[in-house]
Amino acid sequence: MSASTQLLSNGPRREVSAAEERLGPMRLTQEPIQVLLVFAKEDSQSDAFWWACERAGFRCNIARTPESAVECFLDKHHEIVIIDGRHSRYFEADAVCRMIRATKPSEHTVISAVMPQIPSDQEEPSVLPLLSAGFSRRYLENSSVSACYNELIQLEHGEVRAQFKLRACNSVFTALEHCQEAVEISSEDHVIQYVNPAFEKMMGYHRGELIGKELTELPKSDKNSADLLDTINTCIKKGKEWQGIYFSRRKSGDSIQQYVRITPVIGQGGKIRHFVSIKRPYSDNHRQVHKLSKEEKSCGEHSQSECNSLRHKDRRKESVDVRSISSHSSDAPSLQNRRYSSMARIHSMTIEAPITKVINIINAAQESSPVTVAEALDRVLEILRTTELYSPQLASKEDDPHTNDLVGGLMSDGLRRLSGNEYVFSKSALHNMSQSQLAVPVPLNDIPSSIAELLNEEECWEFNILELEAATHKRPLSYLGMKIFSAFGVCEFLNCTEATMRSWLQVIEANYHASNSYHNSTHAADVLHATAYFLRKDRVKGSLDQLDEVAALLAATVHDVDHPGRTNSFLCNAGSDLAILYNDTAVLESHHAALAFQLTVRDSKCNIFKNMERTQFRTLRQAIIDMVLATEMTRHFEHVNKFVNSINKPMSAIEETSSSSEGSDCEGQASIRNSPENRLLIKRMLIKCADVANPCRPLELCIEWAGRISEEYFAQTDEEKRQGLPVVMPVFDRNTCSIPKSQISFIDYFITDMFDAWDAFASLPGLMENLAENYKYWKNLDEMKCKSLRPPPSQ
């Protein structure tokens, strides 16, 4: 056997790249490379790839079906997968690719499609469909062993090697994330690219505050010698490593002495591409080794050995604290001085957010605290820096699937994955009403006696909205709206006629979907009733002015207009027009608010705002929008916690400390309630509680509403399965769902704390009694293993 033949049979020798050398002893490749061939039938093409693998020294498996392909891939984790895309009668190559890409091990796998040769008289087809399916590249049918061999070798030296490097990088960054030393990586222009958690902890910054910033923008310590930065700059610009003692300034403002090692990283073209700074606090046992104040003259003026004598280990963020490390143009110094002056002015401004001040205070307190206290404060800082300050974390996904599904379905905007399935609203809501639907309803004085008798009870919490629904032929909102608006003087405040208000209510009600089992005009009327009930409570009434009351009533009326009976998560997953319009954020709530004003102003006959003064209208409009958006559940805990901390707790403290002086008690509480910020919180809490007050209704109403919302969720799950969309709330499967469990989870997670806070403010003993009784009812059903709304009939 000749030397050349032997080389081919064992596969080509790979040259080790500079990037691989820098990774030191870490091995990038898994020898030999594994290849999976997915061919339904054996033919010359599959044989050619098999022999090409033999020649390259690769291990090869063959799968004949999509299922066996996935099974084999999950077992072997192949680096290369070749799928036959020439014959769709056996399987769809795109579908096989997607099945493999859906597995976690495929993240670093190269998948190639074998496609038929293109006749010379046909146009070259686009590869975009293949890329969309998850393929990495295309191979045009060629049963030459040499052609297949060349393809495999190119894959190995190109995509496969790149994937090996990515795997290695993931491991390296994992090590950095857990490293005890602070690490900072900056670009050749000294723009921060990365800091690890140890760096964040040492310096008090969150990485989001640092990534993308130039080192010149960060505050400097005045404890360094005047020429130290020039010394560092001169050394590292020559591609030499610098080590020494350096003072950095923490976010809290105090200076920290550190050992710092700055290593230039040489990249493409032999140029410096990054600087890696490793830092650790300078402790007393190192001080006898280092006296660097005068010894740190220009590293460039010393030999390499002299430069090395100055090196010691240290670490932190200000490593290359570069004000004079810029090397741009000849006028860089003057530009840089101006920039530094501007940054100094910015840092002197008092523009810190309250949370920033809190974090700075805690950072300062850590300096003089015992270790145990400092560690506890570290945990406090971790919590304060999270973006989900107000969202409780569930212990585990398995603990309560009903709660997890409710949280996932109501408090997220889905998977943000667009698909070919488009969920479109009924028609354009602005054009879906016939003239017959808009006939002006009768005045209050001419309401049929049966409806009038029901409306006489509207001030009671026990008011039966379902009876009104039946009596009005599913048009309860118009009738109840006129009654409540009259009681609160809404027409007088808006300076509009009763006929205009009746037309407006009719238009709004016509844009609720009667086909929805839950989100229809009866739900809107129910929320309007609860809103009016809350507005009549003494403490609420004493906290809000008439504009607030009118805004609350109008917001309740429109808060779910044109609701499609599907959640925000569904619309985002389905790639609906509205989800795209509102960037997957508060999609429905934004639509409800926007459509309400569109419907109102499009026709003078129903424009209840047409006679308002502009400034007052703007204020009212903003209040309505804010309340409608508050019904969106992703910020549920934020609204509740702000209400508790800004209103409940301060008022409770006043009650406890001023029980002997009644006057000051009332005045202090009134000042808390009546501030603009807290009135905003009260209005948000009011409509949130009105929106989900079903568990606080009398038992029969509570049961009916539970059935309606469950049916709507069942219908959504059915449609998600039909359309192949992610199932947002799997427990709401009509064949397996336990309605009692879902109600228990909803009450436990969303209702109890919110209504405890609202009751403490508004005093609602009747509602809290209903809530306790209803909860007990659902608990009893659950203990009986009953999954339906009512217990089975006794035998």
**Is pLDDT larger for residue 483 or for residue 327?**
483
Catalytic, out of 519, 529, 592, 639: 519
Q: So what's the pLDDT on residue 53?
A: 92
Instruction: Check whether 245 has a pLDDT greater than 70.
Output: yes
DSSP 191: B
Give the residue among 571, 580, 574, 567 at the shortest CA–CA distance from 420.
574
Say if residue 473 carries a ligand binding annotation.
no
* Distance from C-alpha of 371 to C-alpha of 345, rounded to nearest angstrom: 36
* Distance from C-alpha of 331 to C-alpha of 335, rounded to nearest angstrom: 6
Q: What is the CATH number of domain 20-117+127-175?
A: 3.40.50.2300
Alpha helix (H) residue ranges in 472-583: 476-487, 490-494, 498-510, 521-535, 538-541, 546-558, 568-574, 577-581
Report helix angle 498-510 to 546-558, nearest 10.
Answer: 40
**347 band by pLDDT with thresholds 50, 70 and 90:** very low
The chain-wide mean pLDDT, for the chain, equals 81
Tell me: the pLDDT tens digits for 158-180? 888 877 777 677 778 788 888 88
Q: Active site includes 519?
A: yes
**9 band by pLDDT with thresholds 50, 70 and 90:** very low
Q: So what's the pLDDT on residue 472?
A: 94
Say if residue 520 carries a ligand binding annotation.
yes
Alpha helix (H) residue ranges in 536-585: 538-541, 546-558, 568-574, 577-581
Distance of CA 218 to the CA centre of its chain: 29
Say if residue 590 carries a ligand binding annotation.
no
Q: Tokens in use for 404?
A: 């997890």
Say if residue 560 carries a ligand binding annotation.
yes
**Is pLDDT larger for residue 666 or for residue 487?**
487
Say if residue 521 carries a ligand binding annotation.
yes
Tell me: the pLDDT tens digits for 74-126? 988 898 999 999 988 889 999 999 999 999 888 889 999 999 998 888 888 89
Tell me: the pLDDT tens digits for 715-761? 999 999 999 999 999 999 999 999 999 999 999 999 999 999 999 99
DSSP 182: E
Residues 6+ apart with CB under 8 A from 155: 80, 110, 112, 137
**Fold assignment, 404-411+446-655+670-784:** Catalytic domain of cyclic nucleotide phosphodiesterase 4b2b (1.10.1300)
**510 band by pLDDT with thresholds 50, 70 and 90:** very high
Q: Is the dihedral of CA 617, 618, 621, 626 positive or negative?
A: negative
Q: So what's the pLDDT on residue 391?
A: 59
The CATH class of 179-281 is alpha beta
> 659-688 burial, b for 16+ CB within 10 Å, e for fewer?
eeeeeebeebbeebbeeeebbbbbbbbbbb
Q: So what's the pLDDT on residue 460?
A: 97
Instruction: Check whether 348 has a pLDDT greater than 50.
Output: no
| SS3 at position 200 | helix
Residue ranges matching CATH 3.30.450.20 in the chain: 179-281
Q: What does the DSSP assignment read for 264-312?
A: EEE-GGG-EEEEEEEEEE--HHHHTT---TTT---GGGS-HHHHHHT--
| SS3 at position 139 | strand
**398 band by pLDDT with thresholds 50, 70 and 90:** very low
Residues 6+ apart with CB under 8 A from 279: 181, 182, 183, 184, 199, 202, 246, 248, 258, 259, 260, 261, 314, 315, 316, 317, 319
Q: So what's the pLDDT on residue 48?
A: 93
Q: So what's the pLDDT on residue 462?
A: 96
Neighbours of 456 (CB within 10 A): 11
Distances (CA, A) of 745 to 590, 631, 775: 27, 19, 10
Residue ranges matching CATH 1.10.1300.10 in the chain: 404-411+446-655+670-784
Q: So what's the pLDDT on residue 413?
A: 55
DSSP 438: G
Q: So what's the pLDDT on residue 112?
A: 94
Give the residue among 584, 527, 627, 570 at the shortest CA–CA distance from 410.
570
Give the residue among 558, 557, 555, 539 at the shortest CA–CA distance from 682.
539
Say if residue 174 carries a ligand binding annotation.
no
Averaged pLDDT, 361-388 = 74
> For the chain, how long is the longest CA-to-CA vector?
109
**Residue 204 host element (H or E):** none
Q: Do 647 and 682 meet the contact criterion of CB atoms below 8 Å apart?
A: yes
Q: So what's the pLDDT on residue 386?
A: 61
Instruction: Check whether 272 has a pLDDT greater than 80.
Output: yes
Say if residue 163 carries a ligand binding annotation.
no
Q: So what's the pLDDT on residue 572?
A: 95
* Distance from C-alpha of 261 to C-alpha of 498, rounded to nearest angstrom: 78
Averaged pLDDT, 249-260 = 88
Highest mean pLDDT pick, 143-157, 266-280, 359-373: 143-157
Residue ranges matching CATH 3.40.50.2300 in the chain: 20-117+127-175
Instruction: Check whether 333 has a pLDDT greater than 70.
Output: no
Say if residue 710 carries a ligand binding annotation.
no
Tell me: the pLDDT tens digits for 19-75? 444 444 455 555 688 999 999 998 999 999 999 999 988 999 999 999 999 999 998
**Is pLDDT larger for residue 773 or for residue 13?**
773
Q: Do 292 and 311 meet the contact criterion of CB atoms below 8 Å apart?
A: no
Instruction: Check whether 435 has a pLDDT greater than 80.
Output: no
Q: So what's the pLDDT on residue 169?
A: 73
Q: So what's the pLDDT on residue 16?
A: 44
Question: Pairing state of beta strands 255-266 and 272-281?
Answer: antiparallel
Tell me: the pLDDT tens digits for 414-432? 543 333 344 444 334 444 4
- Own/partner pairs, 117-123, CB within 8 angstroms, 24+ separation: 117/141, 117/142
Amino acid letter, 526: D
**14 band by pLDDT with thresholds 50, 70 and 90:** very low
Tell me: the pLDDT tens digits for 522-571? 999 999 999 999 999 999 999 999 999 999 999 999 999 999 999 999 99
Q: So what's the pLDDT on residue 19?
A: 42
**609 band by pLDDT with thresholds 50, 70 and 90:** very high
Place of tokens 């209510």: 505
Q: So what's the pLDDT on residue 74?
A: 92
Instruction: Check whether 312 has a pLDDT greater than 70.
Output: no
Q: So what's the pLDDT on residue 692?
A: 97
* Distance from C-alpha of 191 to C-alpha of 187, rounded to nearest angstrom: 5
Q: What does the DSSP assignment read for 367-407?
A: HTS-HHHHHHHHHHHHHHHSS-TTPPPPS-TTT-HHHHHHH
Say if residue 519 carries a ligand binding annotation.
yes
Q: So what's the pLDDT on residue 670?
A: 73
**434 band by pLDDT with thresholds 50, 70 and 90:** very low
